[in-house]
Amino acid sequence: MEAGSEPLPLDILITNVVCVFRVRCHLDLRHIALKGANVMYKRDEGKVVMKLRRPRVTATIWSSGKIISTGATSEDEAKIGARKCARCLQKLGFQVRFGAFRVVNVLAVCSMPFEIRLPDFTKQQRPLASYEPELHPAVNFKIKPLTASMQIFSTGSITITDTSGEQSTERAEGARPEMRRKKTETTELLAMAK
């Protein structure tokens, strides 16, 4: 692994896709809670949580017909899961029309093969990076003007949240050169210390 040479293949895993959609009709939550399978009724908050097995998603259903689905591992899976959820509601007897599907958030995780020195990194990336060790052990790195936001840990793990899966991958690739600089210093110092 030479520093500054050709880019290493980064393993970027999408771990969570959050999407919203509508079924375009009012839903009777009590009916769903009584008759539906794999549901949990949260009466105080006015929502029903439905968990599907395949794809493994959790859907939060409101009586207005708005549904948020989380836990999918890819955007296509998210769509399939959403449709499955709508199908379940249809089988319970509601006049369901699937609409307004939109991916809201994609969470991807990747790991740099080196450790990162957070204070120095923050100093270099001043307005974009914010590091509060008392609040959270990671640096919050917001890539403007894009909607992506990254959390960089000192072990080299990075989580990226963005509104779309491809964008997250791009972001990770883009941020790597900056971290590479930090990596070389780290490895040099570790070598000196030992």
Partner 1 sequence: MIIRKRVKMAAMAAVSSPRPHPVTKIYCPSHPDAVLVEDYRAGDMICPECGLVVGDRMIDVGSEWRTFSNDHVGKDPSRVGDAQNPLLNGGDLSTVIGKGTGAASFDEFGNSKYQNRRAMTSQDRAMLTAFREINTMADRINLPRNIVDRTNNLFKQVYEQRCLKGRSNDAIASACLYIACRQEGVPRTFKEICAVSRISKKEIGRCFKLILKALETSVDLITTGDFMSRFCSNLGLPKAVQIAATHIARRAVDLDLVPGRSPISVAAAAIYMASQASADKRTQKEIGDIAGVADVTIRQSYRLLYFKAAELFPPDFKFDTPVDKLPQL
In angstroms, the CA 67 to CA 60 distance is 6
Single-letter code of the amino acid located at 31? H
Interacting span for partner 1 (CB under 8 A) from 21-29, 42-50, 79-87, 131-139: 131-139
Which x/- pattern, by CB under 8 A, does the window 149-168 give for partner 1?
----xxx-------------
Q: Which is nearer to partner 1, 7 or 127 (CB)?
A: 127
The order of strands in the sheet holding 39-42 is: 39-42, 47-51, 58-62, 66-72, 13-22, 99-111, 157-162, 149-152, 139-142, 129-131
3-state helix, strand and coil shares in percent for the chain, rounded to the nearest 5: 30, 30, 40
Residues binding partner 1: number (CB under 8 A): 22
In angstroms, the CA 71 to CA 182 distance is 33
Q: Does 117 sit near partner 1 (CB under 8 A)?
A: yes
Q: Which is nearer to partner 1, 6 or 134 (CB)?
A: 134
Among 46, 99, 113, 133, binds partner 1 (CB under 8 A): 133
Q: Which residues bind partner 1 (CB under 8 A)?
A: 115, 117-119, 122-123, 126-127, 130-135, 137, 153-155, 186, 189-190, 193
